Amino acid sequence: MTQAHELHFRWNHAEDVAPAAAFAGRVIGAASSYISHGEIQTGLSDDGRSWVSNLERLYLEDFSDRGNRDLLVAHDAAGEVCGLLMLAWEASSRRRFAVIEDMAVDPSQRSQGIGKRMIDLAETRIRERGVEWVFLESGRDNEGAHHFFERAGFKRQSAVFARKL
């Protein structure tokens, strides 16, 4: 069992990109319940029900070219990736805001404080930039994640509808 004090978290390290992409491909790619409209919009899912076959490669591209995004990676005591969070910085003509684009914790290490610690670190980073709002989306059937985010203080704000033509 991993304890929070045995974890190491770091933002935007180039050496984390490939291991984080492999982690995302393995952990996120194992659960179709993770898929939301964002995965369709970004080409990670073609149908909203299954992942594309080159998911790890696409995560590698995304994590390598972060643009206006920050990648937080959690490492366990053995130095292995056990969690990640991708934070995007967005702005409209009226408001600046942050979006948690991706977040995952190794299933064998859930309920040990890793996700909570990543949310806390992201919120600190967001506040340091003077941003007041953070958004995220979660797959319709990803109830475990929904409960986690609600316990972390997030509220359901809307429903998203989509139609493939």
Task: Please report the domains of the chain, with CATH numbers, ordered by start residue.
Answer: 4-151 (3.40.630.30)
What's the confidence (pLDDT) of residue 65?
87
Is the pLDDT reported for residue 12 higher than 50? yes
**The length of the chain, given as a count of residues:** 165
Instruction: Write out the chain in H/E/C secondary structure.
Output: CCCHHHCEEEECCHHHHHHHHHHHHHHHHHCHHHCCHHHHHCCCCCCCCCCCCCHHHHHHHHHHCCCCEEEEEEECCCCCEEEEEEEEEEECCCCEEEEEEEEEECHHHCCCCHHHHHHHHHHHHHHHCCCCCEEECCCCCCHHHHHHHHHCCCCCCCCCCCCCC
Is residue 11 scored above 90 in pLDDT?
yes
Q: Is the pLDDT of residue 3 over 80?
A: no
